[in-house]
Structure 1
Amino acid sequence: AGSKVIVLPQENKKDLEEIPAKIKRDLKFELVENMAEVLKIALEEKS
């Protein structure tokens, strides 16, 4: 299974506290401020 990336607005950072740790450990959260940052994450090559 590959890594799972969740892209969220920076304003939702406080909401991450509501997600149980056992769920968060299998996910990578990217907090963004604008659409350019979303595109950078979406288009970056897998390393």
Structure 2
Amino acid sequence: IRQVFVTDPHLSEEPRLVIITESRIPASVIEDLRALPVVRRLIL
């Protein structure tokens, strides 16, 4: 992980978590992220 940017869900109507990586994210990690109940959308 190179950088992480987060907006506070208490202060933003559409909170976001942005993760910047130097290499590809394994498919298993993407599946785990999508399975989280708080994740509405995952953009790669």
RCO (CA 8 Å, sep 6+): is it higher in 1 or 2?
1
In which range does the TM-score fall when normalised by the shorter chain? 0.3 to 0.5
More strand by share: 1
TM-score, normalised to structure 2, is 0.34
TM-score, normalised to structure 1, is 0.33
